[in-house]
Each structure stands twice: as structure tokens, then as C-alpha cells.
């Protein structure tokens, strides 16, 4: 059974993947356009949005927030 910290981390990861997808759509970006702007593989963006990558690198997150023009805090709220 997960402890409270693990449960919060899981919720945050779930929030991040949903928020990336939501913010991407709000900006009118396709997954294809986002992966090109972020300079990661298409599979990486798909996996992040589907929760398949549970801990994207800090570098990837920084690139995503830069392209989406939001702060990291916007991804975890």
C-alpha cells in the first residue's frame, strides 16, 4: 500500500500529464508540433500525456513549459 508521499507523487504525475495535454490544446498545438518545438521524440510527448513516462527529465519539462509559455507551477496545479 502506498504511503501518503507516494500517493501525492502519483497524483502530481497524473496532474502534470493532463495539464500538458490541456495547455498544448489551449495553445492550438498538435502533439507533432509540440515534439518538434520541444526537440524530443514524438513518442516521448505521447507517453508523457498518457502517463507512460512518470518522471520526465527536468530538461524536458523546462523545454515544454518554455514552449507552452507557462511556469512549472502551472503543470502541477
**Domain residue spans in the chain?**
4-76
**What is the CATH T-level fold of the domain 4-76, as seen in this structure?**
434 Repressor (Amino-terminal Domain) (1.10.260)
Look at residue 13 in the predicted model and tell me its pLDDT: 53
Look at residue 1 in the predicted model and tell me its pLDDT: 57
pLDDT tens digits, one per residue of 36-60: 999 999 999 999 999 888 778 889 9
Burial class (CB in 10 A: 0-12, 13-18, 19+), 37: middle
Instruction: Output the pTM of the full model.
Output: 0.79
Q: Spell out the SS3 assignment of 36-56.
A: HHHCCCHHHHHHHHHCCCCCC
Amino acid at each position: 500500500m502506498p504511503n501518503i508521499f507516494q500517493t501525492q507523487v502519483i497524483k502530481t504525475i497524473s496532474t502534470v500529464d493532463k495539464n500538458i495535454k490541456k495547455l498544448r490544446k489551449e495553445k492550438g498545438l498538435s502533439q507533432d508540433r509540440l515534439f518538434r518545438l520541444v526537440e524530443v521524440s514524438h513518442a516521448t510527448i505521447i507517453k508523457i500525456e498518457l502517463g507512460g513516462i512518470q518522471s520526465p527529465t527536468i530538461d524536458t519539462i523546462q523545454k515544454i513549459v518554455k514552449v507552452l509559455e507557462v511556469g512549472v507551477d502551472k503543470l502541477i496545479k
